Amino acid sequence: MNRKITCIIFALAYAVSSLTFTSCESELGALPENAKVDGNTVLDAATARIALNGVYYRFANVSAGDNITQWRNNERLPAQLSGYMTYGYGTGAGAPEDNQMLSSAGQYWMYGYGIINASNSLIQAMDQLPSGRIPQSERELIEGEARFLRAYANFKLLSFYGQWFDHSSKYGVLLRTEPVTISNIAKARSSVAESYQAIVADLDYAIAHAPDKNAKFYATKAAAKSLKARVLMCRSQAGDYAEVIKLADEVINQGDYSLEPLAKDLFRTKGATSPEVILSVVPQPNQAAYYYNRTRQFWPRASSLYCATEGLRNLLVTDPRQAWMIGSFRTAYANYFFTKYVAEGSTPTEITETAYAIRLTELYLLKAEAILRNNGAVSDAKTILKNIGTHNGLTDFTTLDGLTDRADVLRYTYQEVSKCLVAEDGQEWLALLRLPLETVTSLRPKLIGKEQYILPVPTNEFAENPAFGEQNPGYTIDL
């Protein structure tokens, strides 16, 4: 393989931006300034902050070509796999709506490792500075945010490419703690237990050192606690559920966040200014005016269209959320406009282009689920579910009151997660998969085995990294 091709593959596969590959830049073209995470230009706290912005640039998945965020990738696929969204013009063989995973293999791979490599470049650059060049207190704040972002990316990769549901599994993620170079590209994947250990260690550092307060599109201690609660709910080892409850209470009780009186207002009028938002993804300048933006992929259509399914509409029958989340029926394709983010007949704005990584509703729902799984009082979980329901316009809780079996309340909790958090950051998919397989199959009849819980590792990884290890069970390596 000649040197030019090698440069291109490394840049595309790992989003490398350090000067290790500076000779590639003239061939690939320069990224916008806020995309750069160049370790050799981190000289002090100010330049470290610039590099940190580059890590956030990757977290928001900003397209260098059109300068818009591509967060809809995080929103759409989990909702399709869960049966709540569909491609607007019909589906075919290999569609995620049928829980076929092959066509989505690369969905999060480049995204996740782009964040990780940028985070590692920044952390290594700060490590290599002379002592005292960045004051220790400032260094810890910056590293706290960088490690939060690395943890977010590693958990995204684990939850889509690793057997996160089996703590004893050898099929974890490829953990990297230094920038990728030709000399270290060969590396084996880690086990699930090792993956969780690394993710939690990063989050514990962020909880200790990230800022107490920050702009809504930057990480905080509260965001780190929230993400740790999300991670521990999936890890589900001894003591994890109790820790989820503790973390949720800390975020809920710290007083900086509160539930919207009516959740609809968050999406339609308030956006990231809502006191419920813990971490958001704000649009780039002029994104609302760009024709192929996120909003127009939901209504009326642009390069693509993603719609609500009959399954989501049925989930919301008798629920006041149906009126504003489900739009007109599209007879030719038997689906509905998905109007959670944009009302039919409206135009894109900064609010309709805003995405949500973490908001307070998730913490309440994680706490309710943890109470149920930790053999806590069912009545306590019901109280939380009623509180969340009230903030979503519900007034009749007859169905919930009639449930006495813990498993039935867990299923109700999953349904509430789906209603509240569908098409935000994949929590409806993970909540579904935390149910017993027989329950999962009863809800998604084509989802019949746990090999369908995760995606196959992209074949490029095996071509460029011979040390990686085995492909995920149920798939083959086709080079």
Does the residue 211 lie in any domain?
yes
pLDDT tens digit sequence for 347-364: 999 999 999 999 999 999
pLDDT at 26 > cutoff 50: no
Helices assigned H by DSSP within 32-183: 45-59, 72-81, 109-127, 136-161
Does the residue 296 lie in any domain?
no
Of the candidates 112, 94, 111, the residue with the CA atom closest to the CA atom of residue 103: 94
Local confidence band at 60 (pLDDT 50, 70, 90 cut-offs): very high
Local confidence band at 38 (pLDDT 50, 70, 90 cut-offs): low
Does the residue 191 lie in any domain?
yes
The phi and psi torsions of 82 (rounded to 5 degrees) equal -80, -10
User: What CATH code is carried by the domain that includes residue 149?
Assistant: 1.25.40.390
Local confidence band at 41 (pLDDT 50, 70, 90 cut-offs): confident
pLDDT at 29 > cutoff 60: no
pLDDT of residue 34: 54
Local confidence band at 40 (pLDDT 50, 70, 90 cut-offs): low
> What percentage of the chain exceeds 90 in pLDDT?
87
pLDDT tens digit sequence for 193-234: 999 999 999 999 999 999 999 999 999 999 999 999 999 999
- Residue 1's CB is within 10 A of a number of other CB atoms, namely 8
pLDDT of residue 93: 76
pLDDT of residue 7: 31
pLDDT of residue 36: 58
Average pLDDT over residues 310-335: 97
Local confidence band at 91 (pLDDT 50, 70, 90 cut-offs): confident
The mean-pLDDT minimum among 4-8, 406-410, 475-479 falls in: 4-8
The mean-pLDDT minimum among 35-44, 224-233, 415-424 falls in: 35-44
Average pLDDT over residues 280-286: 95
Does the residue 417 lie in any domain?
yes
pLDDT at 4 > cutoff 70: no
> What percentage of the chain exceeds 70 in pLDDT?
91
Q: Please enumerate, as own/partner, the contacts of 263-272 that have beta carbons within 8 Å and a separation of 24 or more.
A: 263/321, 263/361, 263/391, 263/392, 263/393, 263/420, 264/321, 264/324, 264/393, 266/359, 267/340, 267/341, 267/351, 268/324, 268/343, 268/351, 269/351, 270/351, 271/350, 271/351, 271/354, 272/216, 272/217, 272/354
pLDDT at 113 > cutoff 60: yes
Does the residue 245 lie in any domain?
yes
The first and second tokens of residue 135, run together, are 């004051």
Local confidence band at 64 (pLDDT 50, 70, 90 cut-offs): confident
Q: Which residues of 38-75 are buried (b: 16+ CB within 10 A; e: fewer)?
A: bbeebeebeebbbbbebbbbbbbbbeeeebbbebbebb
CA 45-49-52 angle, 5° bins: 135
Report the distance separating Cα 81 and Cα 447, nearest Å: 9
pLDDT at 478 > cutoff 80: no
- Better-scored residue on pLDDT, 377 or 63: 377
Number of domains in the chain: 1
Does the residue 176 lie in any domain?
yes
Average pLDDT over residues 173-193: 96
- Domain ranges, residue 75: 45-280+355-457
Does the residue 158 lie in any domain?
yes
pLDDT at 445 > cutoff 90: yes
Does the residue 108 lie in any domain?
yes
The phi and psi torsions of 115 (rounded to 5 degrees) equal -65, -45
**Stated pTM of the model:** 0.93
